[in-house]
């Protein structure tokens, strides 16, 4: 869509073009009407004069008024342009083109024949005669009963009007071009404050406002926030809105900070009683033979739920630590060995699934692929991706784990692909968020905490990597890109993409 500046310039040019057309057409029509009225007066006067001429040789009679000069006359250097047709009793007896005295030119009667339809007293009218041209005709009756039809050529008149139209077109065209240039310059200058307001809004729109602490310092300059002008009112309103947004972001960040602190403190505090409960449960389980079967079953159930709650607390504590920016370990990690161990564990945990490991062309020199990071957390990344595939796909699903170099060896890529039912389209954009739940094919049917993929996303981001998820029925792909060992960022908080 064209910009406001272009629309204003085009509107101005079109408006001027319409005005010039109206003025030009009006001027041309007015001039044409005026000249035709003059021509009608001349042809009527000449017809009266020629119908009752002074005695003498017809070719040497005094010239009719204006017959030899002016824009309708032939003149000494112009061709004759006055037609005279004398009609007696309905028959042409004389037809000539009058010029200067003694220079009349006979006209064939058949060419002048249409002119005899002009009757005395009839208003002047225009008639085209083949071989002669277009004439303005008038008739008068002489004392001898003959009718004299006189016609003045309209060529000079039409040429005059055409010349006016041509010159108007040239002048108006130049005027439109100059007006367009002036309108473009003026509009650009007038809209410059609006461009600065737009630039401020654009810079604000590019800020990452969805998470983290945001310092919203962008404001419209005071010169462009003058409430006395329309653009200034927009700038002032934008500044007020940015102030409100900044306050809301500060309140949101403060609330997130308190919530994260609470989650971290609560998770840390829950570890001690959970450990005690688990210990007592294990101690009681040792004497399960002395207990009724119902009690022994309850102890076993309590033990499994305690383990699940412990895992949830550990996951929450890990996310809280990542949110707080606590650095992870930084050491070389053999990612090839780590993936092999994780796939082996997954095969034991879920023998009903089909597990495939693809390490072909994993590196150019055949050496294990290494990255720099926290081995425990990276193992958790791989384990969580495999657990996600195991948990949300039915038995018999093929899960393929691939590891290879990408992007000229600067990135190590891990792919976990399954041929399960896929992720629902409405859940896919939020699947890596905390406590995300699916209601259909990948809905929770086991003890999943809903934090596995959010931990994967956070840990990958802390290692300077990127997580990508694509899904359709029959193929769900999780792709993790990590910087290679010699290209890992020194600051673990700087990644290829921000975590959700």
Number of C-beta neighbours around residue 122 at 10 A: 11
Q: Which range (222-226, 232-236, 386-390) has the least confidence?
A: 222-226
DSSP string, 278-310: HHHHHHHHTTGGGS-HHHHHHHHHHHHHHHHHH
Confidence class of residue 227 from pLDDT cuts 50, 70 and 90?
A: confident
Spatial separation of the C-alpha atoms in residues 497 and 431, rounded to whole Å:
17
Which residues does residue 85 pair with via DSSP β-bridges, in sequence order? 95, 149
Could you tell me where the beta strands, DSSP code E, fall in 117-163?
A: 125-129, 133-141, 147-153
Mean pLDDT for 117-127 is 90
Distances (CA, A) of 417 to 95, 400, 414, 443, 451: 104, 5, 10, 18, 20
Q: Does domain 331-487 have CATH number 3.30.300.30?
A: no
Q: What is this structure's pTM?
A: 0.49
CATH classification number, 232-323, choose in 1.10.287.130, 1.10.10.10, 1.10.760.10, 3.40.50.720: 1.10.287.130
Q: To the nearest whole percent, how much of the chain has pLDDT over 70?
A: 83
Spatial separation of the C-alpha atoms in residues 464 and 489, rounded to whole Å:
7
Residues 16-73 have pLDDT tens digits of 899 999 999 999 999 999 999 999 999 999 888 888 876 655 554 555 554 443 444 4
Q: Which pLDDT score, from 0 to 100, does residue 401 have?
A: 93
Q: Which pLDDT score, from 0 to 100, does residue 164 have?
A: 92
- Of 428, 493, 414, 415, nearest to 461 by C-alpha is 493
Domain ranges of the chain: 4-161, 232-323, 331-487
Mean pLDDT for 5-22 is 88
Q: Which pLDDT score, from 0 to 100, does residue 497 have?
A: 33
Q: Which pLDDT score, from 0 to 100, does residue 499 have?
A: 31
How does DSSP classify residue 328?
P
Q: Within 206-292, where are the H helices?
A: 230-285
Mean pLDDT for 426-452 is 65
Residues 144-167 have pLDDT tens digits of 888 999 999 998 899 999 999 999
The mean of the pLDDT values for the chain is 80
Q: Report whether pLDDT(488) > 60.
A: no
> Which of 175 and 300 is assigned the larger pLDDT?
175
- Of 327, 324, 329, nearest to 264 by C-alpha is 324
Distances (CA, A) of 248 to 56, 239, 499: 110, 14, 21
In a 10 Å sphere around its CB, with 0-12 CB exposed, 13-18 middle and 19+ buried, how is residue 86 labelled? buried
Collect all residues with Cβ–Cβ distance below 8 Å to 254 and sequence separation of at least 6.
none
3-state secondary structure of 313: helix
Tell me the torsion sign for CA atoms 390, 396, 397, 399.
Answer: positive
Number of C-beta neighbours around residue 46 at 10 A: 25
Q: Quote the crossing angle between the two packed helices 4-51 and 155-205, to the nearest 10°.
A: 170
Residues 320-369 have pLDDT tens digits of 777 766 777 888 988 889 999 999 999 998 899 999 998 875 555 557 88
Distances (CA, A) of 346 to 140, 271, 342: 120, 27, 6
Confidence class of residue 212 from pLDDT cuts 50, 70 and 90?
A: low
């Amino acid at each position: 869509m064209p910009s406001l500046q272009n629309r204003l310039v085009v509107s101005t040019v079109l408006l001027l073009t319409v005005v010039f057309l109206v003025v030009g057409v009006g001027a041309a029509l007015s001039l044409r009407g005026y000249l035709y009225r003059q021509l009608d007066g001349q042809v009527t006067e000449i017809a009266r004069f020629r119908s009752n001429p002074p005695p003498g040789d017809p070719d040497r009679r005094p010239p009719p008024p204006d017959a030899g000069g002016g824009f309708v006359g032939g003149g000494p250097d112009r061709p004759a342009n006055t037609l005279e047709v004398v009609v007696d009793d309905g028959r042409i007896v004389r037809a000539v083109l009058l010029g200067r005295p003694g220079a009349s030119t006979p006209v064939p009667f058949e060419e002048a024949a249409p002119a005899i339809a002009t009757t005395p007293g009839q208003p002047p009218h225009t008639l085209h005669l083949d071989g002669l041209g277009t004439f303005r005709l008038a008739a008068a009756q002489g004392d001898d009963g003959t009718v004299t039809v006189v016609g003045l050529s309209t060529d000079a008149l039409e040429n005059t009007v055409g010349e006016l139209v041509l010159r108007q077109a040239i002048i108006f065209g130049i005027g439109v071009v100059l007006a367009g240039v002036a309108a473009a310059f003026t509009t650009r200058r007038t809209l410059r404050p609006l461009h600065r307001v737009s630039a401020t809004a654009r810079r604000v729109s590019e800020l990452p406002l969805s998470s983290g602490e945001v310092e919203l310092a962008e404001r419209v300059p005071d010169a462009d926030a003058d409430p006395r002008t329309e653009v200034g009112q927009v700038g002032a309103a934008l500044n007020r809105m940015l102030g409100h947004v900044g306050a809301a972001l500060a309140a949101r960040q403060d609330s997130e900070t308190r919530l994260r602190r609470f989650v971290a403190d609560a998770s840390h505090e829950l570890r001690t009683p959970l450990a005690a409960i688990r210990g007592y449960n294990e101690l009681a389980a040792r004497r399960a033979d002395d207990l009724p079967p119902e009690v022994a079953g309850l102890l076993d159930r309590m033990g499994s739920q305690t383990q699940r709650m412990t895992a949830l607390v550990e996951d929450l504590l890990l996310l809280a630590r990542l949110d707080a920016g606590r650095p992870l370990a930084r050491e070389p990690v053999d990612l090839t060995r780590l993936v092999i161990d994780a796939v082996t564990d997954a095969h034991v945990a879920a023998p009903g699934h089909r597990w495939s490991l693809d390490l072909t062309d994993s590196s150019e020199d055949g050496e294990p692929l290494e990255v720099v990071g926290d081995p425990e957390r990276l193992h958790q990344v791989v384990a969580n991706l495999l657990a996600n595939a195991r948990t949300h796909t039915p038995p018999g699903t093929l899960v393929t784990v691939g590891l290879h170099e990408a992007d000229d060896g600067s990135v190590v890529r891990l792919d976990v692909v399954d041929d399960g039912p896929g992720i629902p389209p409405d859940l896919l954009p939020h699947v890596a968020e905390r406590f995300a739940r699916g209601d259909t094919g990948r809905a929770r049917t086991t003890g999943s905490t809903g934090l596995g993929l959010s931990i994967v996303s956070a840990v990958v981001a802390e290692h300077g990597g990127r997580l990508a998820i694509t899904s359709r029925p029959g193929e769900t792909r999780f792709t993790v890109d990590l910087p290679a060992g010699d290209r890992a960022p020194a600051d673990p908080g700087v990644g290829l993409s921000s975590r959700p």
